[in-house]
Structure 1
């Protein structure tokens, strides 16, 4: 496990936190896709810039890249030796998004683009709720496609807080 792609069902599933913890245990640099995508003031990066930033990372010997951004899944997946997918219940994701907003309101998180102060609006909540269940089906197919891309690739699906905790704790016994 040296090139690790962390993805999840939704905002609030814990991708950033998990990636940081995993990076600390494995001593691997973590890259947050939100820092590549969002420019100050919540301005979107152009696709080519967003993709180029990832292309610089994926050729390195080791990395953890966390985030979804389906437009560049294949780029990351083609270089990753491990893909870790997090899927927690919808209510857990929503409560974490609310907690995150409350804890960081008016500030920019370390896993977010510079100058993008934490915000929460109805459209974002609506997006999470309306895409959650259709995404479950898409993600299942996507993980199968990643496995078909390379049968040797390690695909890990963690679907509870306990599974996530156990996975991270198991790693600490290895090293």
Structure 2
């Protein structure tokens, strides 16, 4: 059973940091439902969901008493962040995230893995102006600053800032073994 202070968990971090993987693990370890905001954001054919639809999905999911949700979308932050009690921030160095993102993206392209709603990574968009790799370079450093600012606006959140994949693995192992968790900003 999850600790009372870890019932509604946001997993944030830059593109490619491993938000969804960690959020799924937390859901399994704590027995909580998991949702990925990208699945609500991207409809078939990479069509962006209407704002009202996206916000309704976030509202319905976070109205539950316990959950784990990953994503950085600000367009429904006013709904989810006040409801959360914990923010887990994957704050890894750029080279670590870039190589993880590149490996993940190329692997998905090679295997034709479906992401959400029939969407798949495509070779033709790998280096496009709106492609995932360029998005990383446009947003990684900005997101670090923005996450600090966002977290300051929500002082009720218990913040777990993880700065390396190894630190994240150790934290999840402690959580799985019900060892007391430490929180840090």
Q: Find the counterpart in structure 2 of residue 114 from structure 1.
A: 117
How does the TM-score come out when normalised to structure 2? Answer: 0.85
Q: Find the counterpart in structure 2 of residue 72 from structure 1.
A: 76
Question: What CA deviation, in whole Å up to 9, does each residue of 1:101-129 have, x standing for no partner?
Answer: 222212213xxx21111235223322211
Deviation at 1:135, TM superposition (A): 2.1
Asked which structure has the greater RCO (Cα within 8 Å, sep 6+), the reply is 1
Q: Find the counterpart in structure 1 of residue 154 from structure 2.
A: 146
Aligned 8 A contact 1:31 1:65 in 2: yes
Q: Find the counterpart in structure 2 of residue 162 from structure 1.
A: 166
How does the TM-score come out when normalised to structure 1? Answer: 0.89
Q: Find the counterpart in structure 1 of residue 182 from structure 2.
A: none
Q: Find the counterpart in structure 1 of residue 140 from structure 2.
A: 132
- Unpaired runs of 5+ residues, structure 2, are 1-5, 180-185
**1:5 aligned to which of 10, 23, 26:** 10
Question: What is the CA–CA distance in structure 2 between the aligned matches of 1:16 and 1:174, rounded to whole Å?
Answer: 22
Aligned residues: 167
- Unpaired runs of 5+ residues, structure 1, are none
What is the CA RMSD across the aligned residues, in angstroms?
1.4
